[in-house]
């Protein structure tokens, strides 16, 4: 790794705009993610969180602004290029390959030259106790298992940064715990995470830094304890204090 | 590739190689056609079965290759060079076409391929100085190899096509293609260069039809626009691949054998009825047995261990 | 060359192109309607048109019924046929990968085509019910073409207004634009899809009835027309109803000029060349419309 400055931000987003024919999903988003952190991204439904991930990961080429990963501009790059640079993401609704086996689902996500892909896939599966599922087709898994496999899948490339879009939604409590444990474990090894999550306890527990998105704008950022007291955040979540 | 399958393949090849020794002229002619259809169905399988991008115009590569080969033979080149030429010209057509249509998602590729064969036929008809137009070109039998040679050539093409499919299927590249077929966006998101993958598969899939076109002319010694760009060839290769099982190694071999056998026994005299049945077979397979006949044999019992407590009840519908 | 640059000849080519284009527009907008609503490309669409054409032919030869009157029988019949096909076949492949629906409708087109050959043989047929021409100064409008174009425009505009103005039409558009939202809002999407396919069939049937008056046709004629339709929907934007109307007119005119300047055989290849050209310069269609995912 040629990280000039170890404590420079790994991801920087400047003035990001995305317009869906009238719907302004992102209105000038600025964001900075510290290397090695777990950053939370919260906000009401439809506030633009998934859209932000789509843009950062290269799936949505029609945004304007600037996205820097490891100091290099990545806006306009293809998703596969971004992935091979070490930035991976998962989908809000699981997208495992239904007709590929669990093992194939993982192996296909490794770098091409990676000779140890198979053994690492088995190792990952063992870690979440899915080692007996290697030959099961993606479509035969439960939804929760699919989401977990999708998470393991992006680990195959050993990315330096992972964007997780509601990884625990639809996953049962046991698997959920496994998932968060792995996130912590990987973070301990240096992987940076940005997590979209509606469960505030999880956010409070995991994240040092939190960004709050509402109607396409970052309305608050910082320590979760501080953010949750913010007037604008309460308003965004609960309306004009009608609750 | 599993050893059992290799053994099975070798046995088939050995059997086929005996053809000219034991079979009559009629049998050889039939098997030659069968090999041709295996080669074509496998080629279709390589792009459509593997990536899910449907090619309705693969016969165009067959026809273009046939003309390229014929013109080479006519100008006195040896037939093996003509076959090579047929293959290369088909490749030269596939590159720009693939580049144009495969960068895009969705149905553009299908839409562009459906018309290709017909346009190629029109061009072949109008380009009289090169193709002699609708009257076609007859090659002197004297300069063509005998039936037995053509038989082995077609057999070789069927084998090569099947080997390509098998190699691709069991490779990392094949895995990427199948991921594209399942969910192209997700594939791209986990590092698959989808455009390059699709284009490579497509170009590979054009090679064999180009060669097969040339060998077919060497066998029939005649070519004209409607024999080279016969739309029913498209139907046949698609039905055979789908009926046997697309996206698999042996499906197209099985499908070609069954459909050709049925044709020979039942429908050879009734072209319209024959095609109608092919259409109906395609419909039936797509709707009721998407994995093709081969899925009846290979369908594994769902190996879903129930012992683990990881299941969380809800299933995807 | 001078002769061909004569404004009268150019005008005549333009008129011919516009008249043919109106028919194409009607045909292709039906295809686009189906694609928009259920992301299915109906490869058998041109065979639906031929069902209409042969229907008109039978009614004319057996009962002497004029194609303009035959419309009242043929159009509802093909509507019903479309409804049934959606119910029995296409409904099963909606929401499945593109490969599935493409191959299913391809299979259907082969079946229909060859049933046509079995019943009517491959000989060309025609319905010479209307003859003569309207003459405006220097310009000549063959009556059957003029009538066919007029009927096509009326039909296409009628369906367009139906989609824009009526409750049911708005439901169709809702399913097209936001299928999930439409379900949540209590729209019976299955019914809407059957209606859509029936409607597309009716449009194809009307186009076929009109076609029977101006062209000779055989069961195999569908291939030409589906190719034209594809070029049109790529030009106009896939799934964009109005885009197909413009695209149809454009193709008609370009074909007419290619036919006039080169030869009618090249005119047959025009649709394809236009399609390739559009993919080259503006891959998602000239009227930047919803792109198929
Ligand atoms: N492809 C699209 N076309 C049109 N509008 C879109 C598209 N994708 C997102 N939007 C709109 O952009 C806005 C932001 O959507 P987004 O999915 O980013 O929200 P979100 O914060 O992830 O919400 P949730 O918590 O429900 O997942 C919404 O109004 C949505 O309707
Ligand atoms: Mg979201």
- Find the closest chain B residue to A115 by CA distance: B172
Residue pair B111/C275 in contact (Cβ under 8 Å)? The answer is: yes
For chain B, list the contacting chains (3+ Cβ pairs, <8 Å): A, C
Q: Does ligand 1 come within 6 angstroms of the Cβ of A92?
A: yes
pLDDT of C292 reads: 34
Residue burial B106-135, b: 16+ Cβ < 10 Å; e: rest: bbbbbbbbbbbbbbbbbbbbbeeeebbeee
Per-window interface: C 207-236 vs B, CB < 8 A: 223-224, 226-227, 230-231, 233-234
pLDDT at C287 over 60: no
Is it the case that residue B90 has pLDDT exceeding 90? yes
* pLDDT tens-digit readout, C181-239: 777 777 888 888 999 999 999 999 999 999 999 999 999 999 889 999 999 998 888 88
Give the pLDDT confidence score for residue C184 in this predicted structure.
74
The CA distance from A144 to the nearest CA of chain B, in Å, is 7
Give the domain ranges of chain A: 4-238
Q: Bigger pLDDT: B266 or A164? A: A164
From the CB of A138, is ligand 1 less than 6 Å away? Answer: no
- pLDDT at site C12: 87
Residue A175 has pLDDT above 80, yes or no: yes
- Chain B interface includes C281 (CB < 8 A): no
Nearest CA in chain A to B190: A109
Q: For residue C60, is pLDDT > 90?
A: yes
Q: Which residues of B touch A132 (CB under 8 A)?
A: 305, 307-308
> What pLDDT, in 10s, does the model give residues B132-162?
888 888 888 888 888 889 999 999 999 999 9
Distance from CA of A204 to the nearest CA of B (A): 25
CA nearest to A194, candidates A67, A83, A88:
A88
Q: Which are the contacts of B248, defined by CB distance < 8 A and separation ≥ 6? A: B45, B49, B169, B291, B292, B294, B298
- C56 pLDDT higher than 50: yes
Looking at chain A, the whole-number percentage of residues with pLDDT higher than 70 is 95
ipTM of predicted complex: 0.88
pLDDT category at B308 given cuts 50, 70, 90 is: very low
Q: Taking 50 as the threshold, does the pLDDT of residue C290 lie above it?
A: no
Interface probe with B: pick from C97, C114, C262, most Cβ of B within 10 Å: C114
Pick the CATH number of A4-238 from 3.40.50.150, 3.40.50.2300, 3.40.50.300, 3.30.70.1560: 3.40.50.300
Our CA angle for B1, B4, B10, nearest 5°, is 90
* Sequence-separated contacts (24+) of A131-134 with Cβ below 8 Å: A132/B305, A132/B307, A132/B308, A133/A102, A133/B304, A133/B305, A133/B308, A134/A101, A134/A102, A134/A103
């Amino acid at each position: 790794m040629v990280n000039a400055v170890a404590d420079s931000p790994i991801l920087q987003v400047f003035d990001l705009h995305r317009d869906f024919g009238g719907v302004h999903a992102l209105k000038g988003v600025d964001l900075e993610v510290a290397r090695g952190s777990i950053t939370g991204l919260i906000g009401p439904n439809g506030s633009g969180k998934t859209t932000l991930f789509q843009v950062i990961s290269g799936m949505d080429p029609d945004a304007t602004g600037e996205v820097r990963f490891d100091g290099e501009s990545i806006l306009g790059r293809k998703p596969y290029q971004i992935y091979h640079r070490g930035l991976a993401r998962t989908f809000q609704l699981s997208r495992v390959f239904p007709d590929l086996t669990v093992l194939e689902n993982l192996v296909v996500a490794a770098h091409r030259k990676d000779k140890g892909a198979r053994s690492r896939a088995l190792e990952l599966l063992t870690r979440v106790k899915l080692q007996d599922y290697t030959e099961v087709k993606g479509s035969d898994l439960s939804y929760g298992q699919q989401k977990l496999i999708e998470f393991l899948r992006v680990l195959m490339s050993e990315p330096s940064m992972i964007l997780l879009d509601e990884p625990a939604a639809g996953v049962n409590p046991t698997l959920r715990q496994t998932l968060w444990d792995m996130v912590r474990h990987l973070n301990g090894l240096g992987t940076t995470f940005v997590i979209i999550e509606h469960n505030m306890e999880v956010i409070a527990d995991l994240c040092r830094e939190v960004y709050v998105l509402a109607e396409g704008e970052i309305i608050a950022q910082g320590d979760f304890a501080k953010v949750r007291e913010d007037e604008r955040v309460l308003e965004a979540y609960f309306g004009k204090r009608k609750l | 590739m599993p050893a059992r399958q290799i053994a099975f393949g070798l046995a088939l090849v050995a059997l086929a190689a005996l053809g000219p020794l034991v079979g009559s002229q009629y049998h050889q002619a039939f098997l030659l056609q069968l090999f041709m259809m295996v080669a074509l169905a496998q080629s279709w399988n390589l792009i459509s079965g593997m990536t899910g991008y449907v090619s309705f115009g693969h016969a165009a590569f067959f026809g273009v290759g046939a003309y390229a080969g014929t013109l080479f033979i006519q100008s006195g080149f040896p037939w093996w060079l003509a076959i090579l030429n047929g293959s290369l010209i088909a490749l030269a057509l596939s590159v720009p076409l693939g580049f144009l249509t495969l960068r895009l998602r969705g149905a553009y590729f299908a839409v562009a391929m459906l018309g290709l064969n017909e346009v190629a036929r029109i061009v072949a008809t109008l380009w009289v100085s090169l193709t002699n137009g609708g009257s076609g070109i007859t090659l002197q039998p004297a300069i063509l190899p005998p039936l037995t040679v053509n038989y082995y050539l077609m057999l070789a093409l069927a084998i090569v096509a099947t080997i390509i499919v098998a190699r691709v299927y069991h490779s990392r590249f094949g895995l990427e293609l199948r991921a594209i077929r399942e969910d192209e966006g997700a594939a791209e998101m986990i590092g698959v260069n989808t455009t390059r993958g699709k284009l490579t598969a497509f170009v590979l899939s054009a090679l064999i039809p180009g060669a097969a076109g040339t060998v077919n002319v060497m066998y029939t010694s005649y070519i004209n626009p409607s024999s080279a760009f016969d739309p029913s060839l498209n139907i046949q290769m698609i039905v055979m691949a789908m009926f046997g099982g697309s996206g698999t190694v042996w499906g197209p071999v099985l499908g070609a054998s069954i459909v050709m056998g049925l044709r020979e026994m039942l429908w050879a005299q009734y072209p319209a009825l024959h095609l109608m049945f092919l259409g109906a077979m395609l419909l039936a397979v797509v709707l009721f047995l998407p994995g093709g006949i081969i899925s009846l044999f290979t369908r594994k019992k769902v190996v879903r261990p129930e012992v683990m407590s990881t299941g969380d009840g809800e299933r995807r519908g | 060359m001078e002769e061909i640059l004569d404004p009268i000849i150019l005008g005549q080519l333009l008129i011919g192109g516009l008249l043919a284009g109106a028919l194409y527009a009607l045909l292709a907008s039906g295809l686009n309607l189906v694609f928009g609503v259920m992301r299915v490309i109906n490869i058998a669409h041109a065979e639906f048109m031929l069902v209409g054409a042969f229907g008109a032919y039978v009614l004319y030869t057996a009962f002497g019924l004029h194609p303009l009157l035959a419309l009242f029988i043929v159009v509802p019949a093909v509507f019903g046929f479309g409804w049934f096909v959606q119910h029995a076949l296409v409904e099963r492949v909606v929401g499945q990968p593109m490969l599935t629906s493409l191959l299913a409708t391809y299979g259907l087109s082969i079946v229909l085509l060859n049933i046509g050959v079995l019943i009517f043989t491959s000989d060309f047929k025609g319905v010479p019910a209307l003859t003569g021409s309207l003459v405006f100064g220097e310009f000549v409008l063959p009556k059957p073409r003029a009538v066919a174009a007029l009927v096509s425009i009326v039909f296409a505009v009628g369906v367009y207004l139906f989609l824009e103005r009526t409750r049911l039409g708005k439901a169709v558009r809702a399913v097209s634009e936001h299928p999930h939202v439409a379900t949540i809002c209590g729209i019976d999407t299955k019914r809407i899809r059957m209606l859509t396919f029936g409607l597309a069939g009716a449009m194809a049937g009307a186009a076929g009835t009109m076609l029977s008056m101006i062209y000779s046709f055989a069961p195999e004629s569908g291939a030409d027309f589906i190719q034209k339709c594809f070029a049109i929907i790529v030009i106009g934007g896939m799934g964009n109803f109005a885009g197909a109307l413009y695209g149809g007119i454009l193709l008609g005119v370009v074909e007419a000029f290619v036919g006039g300047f080169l030869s009618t055989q090249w005119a047959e290849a025009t649709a394809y060349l236009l399609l390739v050209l559009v993919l080259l310069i503006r891959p998602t269609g000239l009227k930047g419309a919803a792109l198929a995912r």
